[in-house]
Structure 1
Amino acid sequence: MKTIIAACSQNLSGSRASLHAALRTLLAVPWPSQRDVRAWLQLLAVLQWVLSFLLLGPVTLVLLIYLVFTRFWPISALYLAWVIFDWDTPEKGGRRLPCLRRWSVWRHFRDYFPVKLVKTHDLSPGHNYIIGSHPHGILCVGAFCNFITGSTGFSELFPGIRPFLTTLAGNFRLPLFREYLMSGGLCPVTRRAIGHLLSENGTGNAVAIVIGGAAESLSCSPGVTTLILKNRKGFVRMALQHG
């Protein structure tokens, strides 16, 4: 019996020693610094944004088509009915969600580049504005960060001003992606949509138009800024028409 007890005691002692050694090894592993954590959060914030823009619409479209051939077809039917009912909403200012602008992930998104908004002039809430934005870049990072997210303090710098950013009308034909765009304050870059914001949506609206458009995005190259401004005077005519 004494021999058995002694053996058990030795096993317990050995287990404790192994556990202590494992803990010491774990504690000896260098933990990521706050700087490393911030860098990873910034990278993930940008990654989710890029993937949302590139994949959210096509993946949702494929999924809805697939569901048509399953017992879950009512989901596709209901969403199609909703899109038909809601078809003109993007042209009428969209349906923004303030909580999306305050999403904390946008702060990490801002700090990755970083993006900064510099105020040079006051904007009166009693008027509407067209803002020409350039350069376009590949995905309009600066315009999106400043006008769609609250991470750069647009609302604090320009109280009473509601910012909107225009994009290709075709983006609002993609399922679920259209909801994502409208929730942030994006609207189609069409005469009807811009005219609605400038004349039928009250005052205090600032509509940002990336003047170079898709043509300018295709001219992007590292270290070179290409602006396409010739024959891009439609936004000037809109401003003159709406005072």
Structure 2
Amino acid sequence: MKINFAPAHIPLKRRLQTAAVLKWVFCFLALAPCCIVLFFCLLFSRFWLVSVLYAAWWYVDWDTPSRGGRKAPLLCRMPLWNYLRDYFPIQLVKTVDLDPRQNYVLGFHPHGILVAGAFTNFCTQATGFSKLFPGLESYLLMLPLWFRAPFFRDYIMCAGLVPSDKDSASYLLRREGGGNAVVIAVGGALEALDSHPGQHSVLLANKKGFIKLAMEHGAHLVPVYSFGENEVYDQVSNPRGTWLRWLQDHLQCIMGISLPLFHARGIFQYSFGLMPYRKPITTVVGRPIKVERNEKPSAEELDALHQMYVDELTQLFEEHKSIHGIPEDTHLDFL
């Protein structure tokens, strides 16, 4: 295979963008295991007291992730994230104002491979979330597994990440006075297995947990579609029914995380690697669906609101697809 190397003379700004994305990819894929190894290496060394003291702190701080976390505005505003934004680039688009006196459940679609749009738009201020939606604080839900990694849990909490379980989301949506936006990648890790360039599939047909959550707390539902999310990585072909997909589905059931076989470009060459392609991502926040509080919704009420959400997401996609070069005969595929 012929390797297409990057030019030797690249502007410093682009090199900084690449460095920012490299840091982000490393944190997403490898930082948690590194933190676990570091914890045990310290524990069985002359620096064992560091791990012991951290373990004591961890015990005291155990419930913090499910109690809103510990978001650090300074970290969210770091210039580093501007380079991450400009690498693709990533843009956040508002269609209507969101009342800061309300709480919201934002359904993010599609998951993509590494949810680049969700992280950049809702965990950093690089795309101006707080300016577009003044008075709202965003929290992105992440697999609870990652909050069991020492050191790593503290880092992701600072970015506004909270566990993707009902208790964590409910804590935020119960807050009086509104102003909380809980962002849920509805398709979850399983949807990542359907993330292929040119494909617009969303795992939503049987996903009603977030609908029930919104109804129980009277939080308005907001569909969000991220155009270009599936374009930044290639994935090994894994159609449903193949042995590879069967293996991936079973591993996801056992471990709770999916294992897509993805690839894109490298740091100094464009032929292979785990660095994403420089493809634009535009995340469009749709119109809110007003939800009345109902602590014990019936199956019919859940189905009705779910269908309303599907219709709003479909309309959002149809209204904006031509702007992003998607053919008119392309429609959302609900799995």
Q: Same fold (TM over 0.5)?
A: yes
Structure 1 alignment gaps of length 5 or more: 1-30
Tell me if the contact between 1:169 and 1:188 (Cα under 8 Å) persists in the aligned partners. Answer: yes
- Call closer, same or farther: CA 1:242–1:86 in 2, change over 3 Å: same
Aligned residue number for residue 18 of structure 1: none
1:92 aligns with 2:92: no
Tell me if the contact between 1:133 and 1:211 (Cα under 8 Å) persists in the aligned partners. Answer: yes
Aligned residue number for residue 114 of structure 1: 89
C-alpha displacement of 1:195: 0.4
Tell me if the contact between 1:131 and 1:206 (Cα under 8 Å) persists in the aligned partners. Answer: yes
* Distance in 1 between residues matched to 2:44 and 2:164, nearest whole Å: 35
Tell me if the contact between 1:116 and 1:152 (Cα under 8 Å) persists in the aligned partners. Answer: yes
C-alpha displacement of 1:120: 0.5
C-alpha displacement of 1:226: 2.6
| CA deviation map 1:87-109 (0-9, x unaligned) | 11000100011011110011110
Q: Which amino acid aligns with 2:57?
A: W
* Distance in 2 between residues matched to 1:116 and 1:75, nearest whole Å: 41
Aligned residue number for residue 235 of structure 1: 210
Q: Identify, as 1 or 2, the structure richer in strand.
A: 2
1:135 aligns with 2:110: yes
Tell me if the contact between 1:167 and 1:186 (Cα under 8 Å) persists in the aligned partners. Answer: yes
- Call closer, same or farther: CA 1:120–1:140 in 2, change over 3 Å: same
| CA deviation map 1:199-236 (0-9, x unaligned) | 03642000010000000012222332331112111111
Q: Which amino acid aligns with 1:64?
A: F
CA radius of gyration, larger in: 1
- Match 2:193 to one of 211, 215, 218: 218
Q: Identify, as 1 or 2, the structure richer in helix.
A: 1
1:179 aligns with 2:150: no
Q: TM-score when scaled to structure 1?
A: 0.84
- Dislocated runs of 4+, deviation >4 Å: none
SS of the aligned residue for 2:94 comes to: coil
1:164 aligns with 2:139: yes
* Distance in 2 between residues matched to 1:73 and 1:183, nearest whole Å: 25
- Match 1:78 to one of 35, 44, 53: 53
C-alpha displacement of 1:77: 0.5
Q: TM-score when scaled to structure 2?
A: 0.61
How many residue pairs are counted as aligned between the two chains?
Answer: 211
| CA deviation map 1:18-51 (0-9, x unaligned) | xxxxxxxxxxxxx956xx2221111111100010
* Distance in 1 between residues matched to 2:200 and 2:47, nearest whole Å: 48
Structure 2 alignment gaps of length 5 or more: 1-7, 219-335
